[in-house]
Structure 1
Amino acid sequence: MKQMAIANQRNYLVVESNEFIRYGRYSLTAQQFNILAYCVSRIKPGMEEFETYDFDLKDLCAVCGISQNTKNYANFKENLEKLANMSFWWETDEAHELHRLFENVKIYKRDTRVSIKIDDVLKPHLLNQRENFTAYLYENVLVMKSAYSKDMYRILKSYSFQGEYEVPLILLKDRLNCANEYEGRFDNFRKYVLDKAMEEINQYTDLEVSYKPIRVGRSIQKIHFTIKPKEREGEVRAMLERGIVLNRIENEKNQMRLEGFEDNE
């Protein structure tokens, strides 16, 4: 895949309903997030039905900025298999509902092609969004290493028009699907989830975010987030930071070609 095509795909928009972002609960790894967002970014405006998306894992590696090798192809296939078997919880006023993310996943045996179809239950949240939705560049989530950072960015982006977001700590942990992992001391949740998310969001995306724990008595009960769009200078800096990370493999290849050319002179 040519570099221009790679850059174009990284700049596709991911468009999701705010309801799906805020209330859908699923536990994904960073790579699984990248795969799901890649599929959603390929949805065209005006579509009434989900298409089956066929793509080559070589191209996905290029878009993700990782090496095209057997190990990475195997990792993608393993995560696709997990996504195919994965369900997510959807909370309504009346019940907790269990749904699937993908209706069909096909992994070809003799090459690196795959095909994916998103489950129709997600049509109200991913197709023809006209109000109460959030749109962001695919590369904004692609570049972040932490799955919590990717998810936190989506949540804060959906509230960015308000400039702030306050949430009970227990609900935030539940939404990020980490209530059991970080059931104890707040310090661990702060260090490995909140601080990491703030660092990556501020470094790589179009948002400038911060948070303040709110105590009730001696315990922390809520988290108050402040959310601002970056000024032009900050947005350009974040774009350059994303480019450094995502183009690392290609830059290393170019450097090797240059060194080989110089050696032959």
Structure 2
Amino acid sequence: MASTPPPTSIAELKTSARLAGAPPVPIEIRQHNSITTARYDMSALEMDIIFALLSRLNKDDKPGTMYRLRVQELEKLTGREWNYHRLGIAVDSLVGRSYHIEDGNSWLKVTMLASAEYLKGQGVIELEVSEKLRPYLINLKNNYTSYKLHSVLSLTSKYAKRVYELASQWKDIGETKTYSLDEFKYMLALKDPTGKEPEQYQQISNLKKFVLDIAVEQINAHTDLTISYELIKEGRSYQKLCFHVAQQKLEQIPLPFELGIEDAKMQVARKNLDELGIREPALVKHILTTSSLLAALFDFTYKHKTGKIKSSKNAGGLFLKINGLVGSKMK
């Protein structure tokens, strides 16, 4: 008896799982952290095409592999009707789009695609990944960001998509690194490092209204993450920001991240404990080496900073009480 051929598209993969009686499996995208923090500018439609492409990559793919995306498939995933004229323009523009990647003491400017073809009348896009970019996208074992295809496609703002990528890189820690506003704007192509192009949203009120608030609203409503942002003043003006991140699905598996466990996760955890006034060495060690308490610490810190837990006088004492550590020493 002939065997059933393997599914060849995202839609067929979902159908196959459903017919087999298995629950739907969220499609995951992986990319190197250098891509997550790269400077690039794309429309929301162009980004959706790239995200769909990334979900199709496989570690066994050979150089020159052509990836076929069906428009109907993308419409089902996004729940939106794709204008075929705009789609053709987006595919044409993608060939010229590039990433500016900072990697140690060097930088790389590279296009995402070696070729792109839109087959009129068939509703099919054929894409080929640039060979220079393949190491940042395929067979990643560490230093990568993982996020859900459905989540990122559900976002309509291109800034929400970028912030979701950044937040996903730090979702296992509970908060992102602190970015200078210049650094953040460079990544989102809101500011030109050379100064040749005019800076967008120079007024902090406009940055909040048109970028940050929209990103938070869409990400919290449509993705697996819940985020908030914190603007930080230096002197009389805002100069930095960071995002607080919580996962809405606690069963998701923590993933490696660029700074390493001790340099990032433990560093943030120690900072959180210090801010809570929990500094007794044995107690700190106990919390940091107990996975359930460490997870509880990140969860408590996020909720406390976002106002979901209110304790103006003794937040550290409340954390200890909630986690059965009452009577342990605090300094």
Counterpart of 1:80, as a letter, is V
Could you say which structure has the greater relative contact order, defined with CA pairs below 8 angstroms and 6 or more residues apart? 1
1:96, distance to aligned residue in structure 2 (A): 3.9
* Structure 1 CA distance for aligned equivalents of residues 112 and 94 of structure 2: 7
Which residue of the partner structure matches residue 55 of structure 2? Answer: 41
Which residue of the partner structure matches residue 68 of structure 2? Answer: 54
Preserved CA contact (<8 Å) 1:14 1:138: yes
Counterpart of 1:167, as a letter, is Y
Root-mean-square deviation (CA, aligned residues, Å) is 2.6
The correspondence of residues 104-183 of structure 1 with structure 2, limited to 5 A, is 104-165=115-176, 166-179=178-191, 180-183=198-201
Correspondence for 1:226 among 232, 244, 261: 244
Aligned residues: 229
Determine if the alignment matches structure 1 residue 13 to structure 2 residue 28: yes
* Structure 2 CA distance for aligned equivalents of residues 156 and 202 of structure 1: 12
SS at match of 2:202: coil
Could you say if the C-alpha distance between residues 63 and 91 of structure 1 is closer, same or farther in structure 2, counting changes exceeding 3 Å?
same
* Structure 2 CA distance for aligned equivalents of residues 15 and 223 of structure 1: 25
Preserved CA contact (<8 Å) 2:111 2:130: yes
Which residue of the partner structure matches residue 322 of structure 2? Answer: none
- Structure 1 portions without partners, runs of 5+: 233-265
Larger Rg: 2
Q: Which has the higher helix share?
A: 1
Correspondence for 2:80 among 41, 48, 66: 66
* Structure 1 CA distance for aligned equivalents of residues 106 and 201 of structure 2: 24
Which residue of the partner structure matches residue 188 of structure 1? Answer: 206
- Structure 2 portions without partners, runs of 5+: 1-10, 19-23, 192-197, 251-331
Preserved CA contact (<8 Å) 1:10 1:137: no
Could you say if the C-alpha distance between residues 2 and 66 of structure 1 is closer, same or farther in structure 2, counting changes exceeding 3 Å?
farther
Could you say if the C-alpha distance between residues 6 and 74 of structure 1 is closer, same or farther in structure 2, counting changes exceeding 3 Å?
farther
Determine if the alignment matches structure 1 residue 200 to structure 2 residue 218: yes
Q: Which has the higher strand share?
A: 1
* Structure 1 CA distance for aligned equivalents of residues 167 and 17 of structure 2: 25
* Structure 2 CA distance for aligned equivalents of residues 3 and 65 of structure 1: 18
Counterpart of 2:167, as a letter, is L
More displaced 10-residue stretch of structure 1: 105-114 or 137-146: 105-114
* Structure 1 CA distance for aligned equivalents of residues 25 and 53 of structure 2: 12
**Please, what TM-score do these two structures have when normalized by structure 2?**
0.63
* Structure 2 CA distance for aligned equivalents of residues 20 and 87 of structure 1: 11
Could you say if the C-alpha distance between residues 141 and 189 of structure 1 is closer, same or farther in structure 2, counting changes exceeding 3 Å?
same
1:3, distance to aligned residue in structure 2 (A): 11
